[in-house]
């Protein structure tokens, strides 16, 4: 079984100072998640699982860099957070996974089941792609190179959720640990396997055209050779947020992150094909049809 990285959301230093996250009932999200994280670390170590806790003074971006610089094949990463809503009646737990990744969705379900078995009084808000989050995408899910999930353990703004978290914190920790161990064994069922990766190939279709070059499937995410990105008229030199990996001397980029450049990304599991369509190409085709001959 690989190692487990865990991050307590908020508490780090952002542009406007220390970020406490949600604040309600005389407490803060950062405080509650750090307390929960510490219990999770204790329980995992009691089960002889190697756990790496992200330092609390790091910003969100620094957290991802910290994990990426230490992660290796077989590891997993989880960020825990609590939510807040305008209405104090909104409550429940949920897990976010990177969109279009069926493996990560299954992992999210395993993690959520672990928590709800220990704390059945907590409403189940289900597992959701990160595109359904308030931000439209979650950096921890997308930019972390390891298999990564974001768990919302409840709503700090709801008195019942808050009371459950504060009075049964160890049950929360035990449930999350149960889910983490199950998830980790799925990712790395055979400890001691060679460290060198062997990623399965996938097919690529760009703007309706199939390519002889193939991509690779890494932790359930589609990656395409970086030279094909030029065909989508994208200049990656202007951003550092697109995940790149080097595999067998070829540089690949994570396909789903190209959505930030107005590229539609879909996955066909039956044919193992990632399809990308540039909105610019679509607009040019429409314009061509409208122009007089």
Q: Around Cβ 241, how many Cβ atoms within 10 Å?
A: 12
Residue spans in the chain of domains classed CATH 3.40.630.40: 4-187
**Number of helical (H) and strand (E) elements in the chain, helices listed first:** 7, 17
Q: Domain 4-187: what homologous superfamily? A: Zn-dependent exopeptidases (3.40.630.40)
Give the mean pLDDT of 222-228: 86
pLDDT in tens, 154-194: 999 999 999 999 999 999 999 999 999 999 988 876 554 44
CA 93 vs. chain centroid, Å, equals 16
**Chain-wide mean pLDDT for the chain?**
86
Q: What is the pTM of this model?
A: 0.75
Q: What are phi and psi of 46, to 5 degrees?
A: -65, -25
Residue 282 predicted with pLDDT over 50: no
Instruction: Give the strands of the sheet with 209-218, arranged side by side.
Output: 244-247, 250-254, 221-225, 209-218, 201-206, 273-278, 263-268
Task: Tell me how far CA of residue 1 lies from CA of 45, 101, 114, 190, in angstroms.
Answer: 13, 22, 18, 7
94: number of Cβ within 10 Å: 20
């Amino acid at each position: 079984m690989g190692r487990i990285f865990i991050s307590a959301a908020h508490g780090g230093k952002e542009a406007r100072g220390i970020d406490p996250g949600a604040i309600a009932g005389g407490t803060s999200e950062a405080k509650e998640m750090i307390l929960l994280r510490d219990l999770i670390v204790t329980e995992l170590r009691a089960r002889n699982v190697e756990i790496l806790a992200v330092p609390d003074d790091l910003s969100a971006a620094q957290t991802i860099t910290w994990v990426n610089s230490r992660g290796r094949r077989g590891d997993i990463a989880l960020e825990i957070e609590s939510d807040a809503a305008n209405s104090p009646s909104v409550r429940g737990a949920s897990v976010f996974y990177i969109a279009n990744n069926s493996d990560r969705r299954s992992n999210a379900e395993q993690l959520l089941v672990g928590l709800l078995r220990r704390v059945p009084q907590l409403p189940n808000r289900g597992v959701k792609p990160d595109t359904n989050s308030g931000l439209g995408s979650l950096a921890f899910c997308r930019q972390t190179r390891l298999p990564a999930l974001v768990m919302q353990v409840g709503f700090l703004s709801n008195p019942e959720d808050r009371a459950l978290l504060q009075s049964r914190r160890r049950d929360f920790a035990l449930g999350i640990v149960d889910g983490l161990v199950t998830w980790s064994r799925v990712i790395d069922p055979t400890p001691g396997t060679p460290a060198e990766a062997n990623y399965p190939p996938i097919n690529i279709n760009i703007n309706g055209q199939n390519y002889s070059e193939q991509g690779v499937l890494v932790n359930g995410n589609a990656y395409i050779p970086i030279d094909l990105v030029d065909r989508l008229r994208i200049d990656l030199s202007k951003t550092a947020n697109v995940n790149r990996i080097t595999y067998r001397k070829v540089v690949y980029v994570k396909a789903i992150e190209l959505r930030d450049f107005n590229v539609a990304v879909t996955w066909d599991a039956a044919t193992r094909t990632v399809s990308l369509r540039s909105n610019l190409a679509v607009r040019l085709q429409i314009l061509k049809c409208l122009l007089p001959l």
